[in-house]
Amino acid sequence: MKVSVIGASVSGLFAAYLLAKEGAEVEVYERGDVLGRPPRTLIVTNKINEILDFVPQEAIINTVRYIELFSRSRSARLELSSPDLVVEREKLLNLLARLAKEASAKMVFNHRFEGFAQFGRKIVVSLRNLETGEEHRRSTDILIGADGALSAVARAASCNGHHLSALLQTRVWLPGNARPDTSQVWFDPDRTKYFYWLIPESDQVATVGLIAEDPKRAESGLKLFLQQQQLEPLEFQSAPVPMHRFELMNSAPAGDRNVFIVGDAAGQVKVTTVGGVVTGLHAARALANAILHGRNYRKELRELKLELDLHLLVRHVLNWFNEKDYDELIAMLDGRLKDIFEESTRDELSNSFVSLILKEPRLITLGAKAFLRSMLQSSN
Ligand SMILES: Cc1cc2nc3c(=O)[nH]c(=O)nc-3n(C[C@H](O)[C@H](O)[C@H](O)COP(=O)(O)OP(=O)(O)OC[C@H]3O[C@@H](n4cnc5c(N)ncnc54)[C@H](O)[C@@H]3O)c2cc1C
């Protein structure tokens, strides 16, 4: 079985490794000339170890045991029973690429996917060699689009259309009031529907950033925040990030065809935090299982889809939160909800969702108020 993977990043490399390990003839095509550029600092939950089935030790640059959350007039400090991991993307990709190569996957750089055509059960993939400008065609049994938020494979397979948000972050010297084992999160609904963060990379350096509706707002929001916190930017990291949509997975090609999309290309991103690493790896594993065992990709994605849908529900509510709502929420996080947030990770919302509501029924009132606000706004 010949498999062509487009995109040598988190999702594509992990899918390539899992498939090649089981004997598939895998080729990975990447338009860039190296792995993991531009640099990106990532924070993930330790669920990554479970999905990978190993600890990506060489990619971990820091571990974070505490999260401090701030709203206008409240704050909460959570001690995570499973610390978050701060990962350097380039190191993670080099690790995954090495595993894929050891399993006999072939890596082809400087090749851009341009389209595909289906001939019976075979697919012919068109690729452009970006060094020579020549077009190449490759015949394959299975095509995997792991080519990120602006996926050309998804467009060619007519299953694109997810909403994009802008993520902007910058490395800064670790401020005096921050600690290398503590992430900080600020909710400021006037500036962003999401939040600002500080992720410590070491006892010297941290990453500060935000997500906003578009790059302009991200830029002005971050500039203001850096001024307020008196921080000097060292090196910016930015890109569009896709948002999971309720219908999206139903439109992903699966089952009757042999073209699949995975990771950011399929919008498999938690829209509460816009984290897509663990979910992209999770989806890559589901896809490899589906291909290797002749199962339905959509069915293999069920567990992940439930998780992503719950994040989407929470995001819809948070989008309408005002400063007072965040004050109430943070007070709950410092009160009855503290244990649950300390015990379970952001990648296990489906396990903790019901307990959260049972423990703090006022969450329903808080959500209902935000929902009502959204209704009133849309009727104006
Ligand atoms: C600044 C920033 C910070 C982030 N921080 C976090 C974080 O802390 N935690 C977290 O979980 N997530 C984070 N994310 C999101 C996370 O990085 C993505 O969800 C994740 O990288 C998705 O991986 P992927 O393999 O699906 O796609 P990508 O990483 O986008 O990789 C796509 C690959 O496909 C290649 N490609 C694209 N088009 C073509 C083509 N036509 N032909 C050939 N190759 C192509 C690209 O060059 C790239 O290598 C962050 C994102 C950004 C932008």
Note the pLDDT of residue 169: 95
What's the gap in Å between 240 CA and the centre of ligand 1? Answer: 9
Q: Is 47's pLDDT higher than 70?
A: yes
Query: Which of these ranges, 183-187, 204-208, 221-225, 243-247, has the smallest mean pLDDT?
Result: 243-247
What pLDDT is attached to residue 377?
A: 73
pLDDT at 161: 61
Ramachandran quadrant class, 105 (left: phi over 0; alpha: psi -120 to 50; beta: rest): beta
Convert the pLDDT of each residue in 6-30 to its tens digit: 999 999 999 999 999 999 999 999 9
251-255, 267-271, 356-360: which range is least confident on average?
251-255
Distance 148 CA to ligand 1 centre (A): 5
pLDDT in tens, 276-307: 999 999 999 999 999 999 999 999 999 999 99
Q: Which atom of ligand 1 is nearest to the CA of 199?
A: 8
* Across 77-86, 109-118, 132-141, 157-166, least confident range: 157-166
Residue 68: the pLDDT is 97
254 — pLDDT class (breaks 50, 70, 90): very low
- Please tell me the pTM assigned to this model: 0.92
Residues flanking ligand 1, CB < 6 Å: 6-12, 29-32, 40, 42-44, 112-113, 146-149, 152, 167, 169, 237-239, 241, 263-265, 269, 275-278, 280
For the chain, give the mean pLDDT: 92
Tell how far the Cα of 47 is from the centroid of ligand 1, in angstroms.
Answer: 19
Q: Is pLDDT above 80 for 251? A: no
Per-residue pLDDT band at 119 (split at 50, 70, 90): confident
Residues 148 and 12: beta-carbon distance below 8 Å: no
Confidence (pLDDT) at 11: 98
Range with the largest mean pLDDT of 46-55, 186-195, 209-218: 46-55
The whole-angstrom separation of Cα 93 and Cα 37 is 10
Mean pLDDT of 84-89: 97
Mean pLDDT across 147-162 = 84
SS3 for the chain, per residue? CEEEEECCCHHHHHHHHHHHHCCCEEEEECCCCCCCCCCCEEEECCHHHHHHCCCCHHHEEEEEEEEEEECCCCEEEEEEEEEEEEEEHHHHHHHHHHHHHHCCCEEECCEEEEEEEEECCEEEEEEEECCCCCEEEEEECEEEECCCCCCHHHHHCCCCCCCEEEEEEEEEECCCCCCCCEEEEECCCCCCCCCEEEEECCCCEEEEEEEECCHHHHHHHHHHHHHHCCCCCCEEEEEEEECCCCCHHHHCCCCCCCEEECHHHHCCCECCCCECHHHHHHHHHHHHHHHHHCCCHHHHCHHHHHHHHHHHHHHHHHCCCCHHHHHHHHHHHCCCCHHHHHHCCHHHHHHHHHHHHHHCCHHHHHHHHHHHHHHHHHHC
Which atom from ligand 1 is nearest to the alpha carbon of 149?
A: 30
State the pLDDT at residue 255. 41
Is 249 a residue whose pLDDT tops 70?
A: no
Ligand 1 atom, smallest distance to 7 CA: 34
Average pLDDT over residues 160-167: 78
Query: pLDDT value at position 302?
Result: 93
The pair phi, psi for residue 240, each rounded to 5°, is -70, 145
pLDDT tier for residue 159 given thresholds of 50, 70 and 90: low
192 neighbors 158 (Cβ within 8 angstroms): no
- Centre of ligand 1 from the C-alpha of residue 363, in Å: 33
Q: How close is the Cα of 283 to the center of ligand 1, in Å?
A: 14
Please report, rounded to a whole number, the percentage of residues in the chain having pLDDT higher than 90: 77
Specify the ligand 1 atom closest to the Cα of 112: 42
Probe target for ligand 1 pocket from 18, 274, 285, with the most ligand atoms within 8 Å of CB: 274
Least trusted range by pLDDT, from 172-176, 247-251, 327-331 = 247-251
Closest residue by Cα to atom 5, ligand 1, is 42
pLDDT, position 240:
82
